[in-house]
Amino acid sequence: MPQLRTDYMSRSVSLVPAERTSHMPSEAEECKYCAGKESETPPAELVLLDKFGGIVKTSDTEEERNSDWVARVFRNPRPLVYDDPGASFSDEPLVGEPAQGNHYVVVTTPHHDQQFHQVGVNQLANGLIAMQEEVKNLYQGKGISYVAAYANARVGKTSYCHPQINLVSLGRIPPVVSAELAATDNMYDELGICPICRVVNVEAGGPRQVISTDSYIAFVPWAPKRSLEFWIVPKRHQRSFLKLTQNQIKELAMIMRCTLGGFVKENGPEYGVAFHMAPERMQQSQYHWHIEVHPRNSVSDSLEDGFGVYVLPKVPEESAERLGRWARREMAEILGVK
């Protein structure tokens, strides 16, 4: 069972795998998420089909898989978290809890070479609609405090690089969102205004604005974590992504497509997208949902950049074992011991 481990003092959170293997596929693997390979994934619990002039929702069975789909949602074959109620907790100073939950994949297009900055606006909107539907379903699960929705645009041939949105349900609220929730509620109690609404008022039409539509604004934040980080924020106060209408989602797809297309021309084809949403069971919060886009490097991941959950490819005990072996060899060489 993977664990969520909390740092001794900073209280940052690391997601430690259950086994001494990476969740990432080998570069030699071929993509199993492309059209025509539906039988190579778990059956999709949600399938969007473009029929009769509109979108039809259906699902796969073990015996029969739908083809000619525009979006599919199924359990991630390499999950970061597991539904295992038997896992244990640990206390100070080694605070840990089971990384219990579900990990789903929203495959946002049948085509491997159509990342979010390349796909048509309608297709991107279909992927967002599928995501919205599955997030609603995940919040029905027991013990779920938060559903982290994020995407990593990558270059490669594996399933890991196929355009997709990952949905990871967790038993705790991630550190970044928890801090934003606290700041939002404190400011709302003190000043009677949502801090994101105040930011929108300041950034609209200013030197950091990237682009604007009727309902959304994209801007580079005042103090970004990385160069070319930008946010997409509803102009009017919106607490829940799950209540967006299809027209609102299509407009969101438009601004995402334009900003990500511009980002790639400026910075290259790899980036991360994190959907910052309030926990659906905290309806009293005034949290203003938004999207954050971060430039990616070879090791960063949107679960880390967007939510403050550090995903480790190895358990710390294995790292200590390997490092210790090399350190003892160095010591023996320094001391002249053979």
One digit per residue, the tens of pLDDT, for the chain of length 338 reads 788 999 998 888 999 887 655 555 666 688 999 999 999 999 999 999 988 778 899 999 999 999 999 999 999 999 999 887 666 788 999 998 888 899 999 999 999 999 999 999 999 999 999 999 999 999 998 888 999 999 999 888 899 899 999 999 998 899 999 999 999 999 988 988 999 999 999 999 999 999 999 999 999 999 998 888 999 999 999 988 999 999 999 999 999 999 999 999 998 888 999 999 989 877 667 899 999 999 876 555 788 888 989 888 888 888 889 889 999 999 899 998 87
pTM to 2 decimal places = 0.91
Residues 130 and 153: their CA atoms lie apart, in Å, by: 18
- Per DSSP (E only), the strands in 196-308 are 209-212, 216-219, 230-234, 271-276, 290-295
* Dihedral angle sign, alpha carbons of residues 44, 49, 55, 60: negative
**Domain hosting residue 83, numbered range:** 3-335
Task: Please report, for the domain that includes residue 75, its CATH number.
Answer: 3.30.428.10
Strand partners, 15: 4, 311
State the total domains in the chain: 1
